[in-house]
Structure 1
Amino acid sequence: SLSVGDKTFVPICAINVLVFLAWMVPRWQPIMTKYFTAGLASGALCWPMLLSVFSHYSILHLGANMFVLHSFSDRAVSALGREQFVGLYLSAGMVSSFTSYLFKAIIKSPTSSLGASGAVMCILGYFCCRYPESKLAIIFLPNFNFEASSGLKALLCMDTVGCLLRWSFFDHAAHLGGSLCGIAWYYWGQEYIWRKREPLISFWHKLRGPVQ
């Protein structure tokens, strides 16, 4: 039987695979480009902030993101619970997309981005704060391991340098936004948002008014 982490991971992975397969259909290309890539030059801005999180340009891109997510999902789901994990994952995806938008606006970049890496980096950031002494390894260098806290610091430094030097191979702004989202959730979000969500939801319902 599947663990709680796997039961949470499998649907997320399945959606990513389905979206990847949708890219293979030529007549869907205009729709996929408009709604499943996030960029300031896109014909849409809001929906792509979420939908692009499930979109990948190659099987390697998809496989790498899902491998990393699966590596951390079991313990992260155990610590957060399924509902909080999914909520954090989706929210972080949109936060990372928005961070990418801001950075592209600053440097006047017309490029578009896609991929789950911002949301995955959030889960990684949370994990490294929650389990700082856990041992991590690089995919292709399994014998080289390091503490989670050190790995997180290295990633933050690399993505910061990537933004400053405008490296374009990865969307470093999205990675940085995702990582900081995970860190913020560990130190602040759980206490002041998740555990107090019922008053916040009630306030939102009053603010929104009755649904017609």
Structure 2
Amino acid sequence: MQQRPYTHFGDPAGMTYGVQLLLVLNIAAALIDWLIFPLKPLFELHANWWTHFGVWELVTYQFLHQGVRHILFNMLALFFIGPEVERGIGTHRFFILYFLSGILGGLGWSLLSPPWHSCVGASGAVFGVLGAFAALYPDRELYVWGILPVKAWLLVVILGAYELLNVLGGPGGVVANAAHLGGALAGVAYTIIISRPDIMRKIRSSLAPRKKPPVSRSEIDRILDKAAQHGMHSLTPAERATLKRAGRQ
């Protein structure tokens, strides 16, 4: 079967596998939660999740929503910008981006919120996808409210500043601004790292254990001469370590 060509931004003909799967999972979870069995008490993110070892909540909260409006806005954003990002970085990395943004956004929210608060929604993950879009296509225009064209990088900066101001204002209200901000930052950072191999090489080299240069023959001879003249007890700890390293070489 031949895949239909991608025609224009947001066209269902260009829908990707990862976005389709996430849309289905989110909608299915919402319908189960609202119509069949309440999932929120078990799977929402509690600000004190570590006290009851609820690490799974950092993932499961992303598939629950408060109401139709909540899930509608998140899924519309995922529908329109998700396929472009998935095509840009690949499905495997797209899933990592999505869940990493949601997890880090939820983690940031939980650290800043009172212990009795709880959180649901895919907003942190979706903000990560938006941040990734801005990192991949900074000059692409997105239409706010369907009429106002704004470059992707500028839109993310404006939204990030708005979320930051709300985070600094405290945890009041029902919007998890810290999750939005954390997700967006995670999406931008992850996309820049994977799209710049030189950055990854620098990170790997900084984390890799540094190998010491080989011991020179003249240094070995000096230490051995000292030991022969004055005994092994005359060697300093550094000189003993040098002899051991030379033996391993």
With structure 1 as the length reference, what TM-score do the two structures score? 0.80
Structure 1 position 113 matched with structure 2 position 119? yes
CA-atom RMSD, angstroms? 2.5
Deviation at 1:83, TM superposition (A): 0.8
User: Which has the bigger relative contact order, CA under 8 A and spacing at least 6?
Assistant: 1
Q: Which residue of 2 aligns with 1:33?
A: 41
Alignment partner of 1:133 out of 114, 135, 139: 139
Q: Distance in 2 between matches of 1:21 and 1:150?
A: 35
Alignment partner of 1:72 out of 76, 81, 99: 81
Q: Percent identity?
A: 21
For the pair shown, the structure with the greater C-alpha radius of gyration is: 2
How do 1:132-171 and structure 2 match up within 5 A?
A: 132-138=138-144, 141-166=145-170, 167-171=172-176
1:95/1:3 CA distance change after superposition, 3 Å: farther
Q: Distance in 2 between matches of 1:145 and 1:119?
A: 23
Deviation at 1:47, TM superposition (A): 0.8
Deviation at 1:132, TM superposition (A): 0.9
Q: Distance in 1 between matches of 2:57 and 2:190?
A: 23
Unaligned runs of 5+ in 2: 5-11, 205-249
Unaligned runs of 5+ in 1: 200-212
- Aligned pair count? 190
- Report the AA paired with residue 168 of structure 1: G
With structure 2 as the length reference, what TM-score do the two structures score? 0.69
User: Contact (CA 8 Å) 1:124, 1:179: kept in 2 or not?
Assistant: yes
Structure 1 position 58 matched with structure 2 position 67? yes
3-state SS of paired residue (1:16): helix
- Report the AA paired with residue 42 of structure 2: K
User: Contact (CA 8 Å) 1:9, 1:73: kept in 2 or not?
Assistant: yes
3-state SS of paired residue (1:146): strand
Q: Which residue of 2 aligns with 1:182?
A: 187
1:160/1:88 CA distance change after superposition, 3 Å: same
Deviation at 1:4, TM superposition (A): 6.2
